[in-house]
Structure 1
């Protein structure tokens, strides 16, 4: 039996299980589910199983693609990303910050949030620059 057929059968089984558990949640009523969480467990298990299957296949096919292709180029791309993260970390500063729920965000946590923002900004500028460069290159070569 082909992998495609097996995956279709698993998808149908998980879909039916999700529909059944959703029906059980709806039949319990909002108040019971909010108060006790009754009926939610089965629905969450379906979500966990689906997530695990997706994560497994993504990991397998990414690794397969890495080893089938040019591994040197892949490692250079990962190194480039890590350099951008390091630049973002150096640019970010951390300040202990109170959050809405009354807890405190640590200085380290604040610095990592800033790092994520800087990495996003750097990658956005690089992506926009690549699109502009590609457009200019296409216009000049025609």
Structure 2
């Protein structure tokens, strides 16, 4: 009986540790993969046509690459204020570009979707 209990404990601990190390595989900060996932989400949620989806995908890819570079820069920077300001500006520019691609109804849905994301993360207007 003790052997079975020990085996079960070892399996549970091993599973927990492996999931904690890779967060269950949920986080992938590859800009290309992120842009693809985001584009697919927006295509479904916002009813994008193929042309809109392609344009949105390009905007997201460029934005994700810049954001990734800024995050890496921020790791080496003691004063992160300037980089955060750049990130806020980048998000604002991305939203402006997206607004030009979407129609009014789609953009309203987009804004609601972003607000839901922010509320789930517990972030403010700058977190998206």
TM bracket (short chain): 0.3 to 0.5
Provide TM-score, normalisation by structure 2: 0.33
Provide TM-score, normalisation by structure 1: 0.30
Structure with the greater relative contact order (CA < 8 A, sep ≥ 6): 1 or 2? 2
Q: State which structure, 1 or 2, has the greater radius of gyration over its C-alpha atoms.
A: 1
